[in-house]
A = this chain, B = another copy of it.
Amino acid sequence: MTVKDQAILAKQAATLLAIASTGAKNDALAAIAKALDEHRPQILTANAKDIEAAKAAGMEAGLLDRLTLTEDRITSMIQGTREVIALEDPVGEFVSMSTRPNGLVIGKKRTPLGVIAIIYESRPNVTVDAAVLCLKAGNAVVLRGGKEAIHTNTALMSIMRDALVSTEIPADALHLVQDTSRESATALMTLTGLIDVLIPRGGASLIRTVVENTKVPVIETGVGVCHVYVDAAADLQMAAEIIANAKCSRPSVCNAAECLLVHKDIAEVFLPKAKAMLDAYKVELRGDEHTRQILGACVVPAGPDDYDTEFYGYILAVKIVDSLDDALAHIRAHGTGHSECIVTDNYTASQHFLNAVDAAAVYVNASTRFTDGGMFGLGAEIGISTQKMHARGPMGLRELTCTKFVIYGNGQIR
């Protein structure tokens, strides 16, 4: 079956899904959770094949860890599915409804997007997480995972589709693209009219490739060069704790901080304080000349790309700025519109930063690591949008829907 054939089947299923009741969708999710639980050995066997192949190919430890499923990780996929059942169904919600002077009653109602395609890399839990979220919001999905996880993904998809057979939701609501070549990704990007939205989840190069080549609407996710700016009026202890947390609590994720901007007036006092906390995690600092004057030769001179890099590890770029406006200009030039933070106790500075920074999430006095669907109270998330259209920031169920106007008339003509 070609990718297009799968998309056609998904489109047909989407028509049924769009009018499925919340109960029918929840029953389908419960069937998926139960089937995953019952087929744990099958999942682990398939995963072992992927891991063996990955080891043979010399995959690095970090990627290998992402690829690996364990009993606990399967439990957490099942648990995740049950949590989505508990979330409110966004479909059918009326965003607004009012009566016009001519008697027309006009409502704006949430409906599913239709068919969502997701292109992702190694982590096989995305296969379940994404399928379950899309399905709850009434969408069919076409998933295209990475080559390295193909056995695991195939097993998971087969279990989920089989689970749907006994429910009111058609199995064709869920598809996995078997071909993991570049061609299948390109095929998805050109299925105008069949794929309503394409969401790439992965590294910067995957996302750039999709954005530059797609002919279907895309939601750009995840690239995060996030800054923490420590203002002249900051509580320096709080600032040190925030940058240590933003950099070190999980450096491999997109909401981790990559760059520390420090106001010149407090740099001499603050930088040694921050360094002491970052040293506990063996963070490598890459700084400008002024930073090196204060902290010494342990700071690597920042190269031309260091202020534009998502390090995914214990490396932090550092720069001393002359003013809040300098910090804003740096963020404008180097930020990716993900999450930006000011640490300050100055009211005017905090308000100006919140207003002037153009990003999905703008913080005063809190770690950028909170940019997350769960932390923001949206429930599970499908990803973090760094674009402005449709959705911006963590995307939950509601962001997987669109609206339509429904108009109740009694013969009105214009």
Contact = CB atoms under 8 A, between A and B. Distances in A.
A358 B98 CA distance: 21
A39 interface: no
Interface string A91-130: 0000000101000101000010110000000000000000
B369 A414 contact: yes
B332 A409 contact: no
A387 to B, nearest CB: 6
Contacts of A211: 192, 215
Interface residues of A, number: 66
Contacts of A196: 388-389
A206 interface: no
B217 A387 contact: yes
B413 A369 contact: yes
B366 A412 contact: yes
Contacts of A192: 211-212
Contacts of A362: 404-407
Contacts of A354: 406
Given A106-B377, A388-B402, A390-B390, A367 B111 contact: no
Interface in A387-414: 387-390, 392-393, 402-414
Contacts of A370: 104, 407, 412, 414
Contacts of A197: 388-389
6 contacts: A238-B411, A242-B413, A244-B413, A360-B404, A392-B402, A393-B405
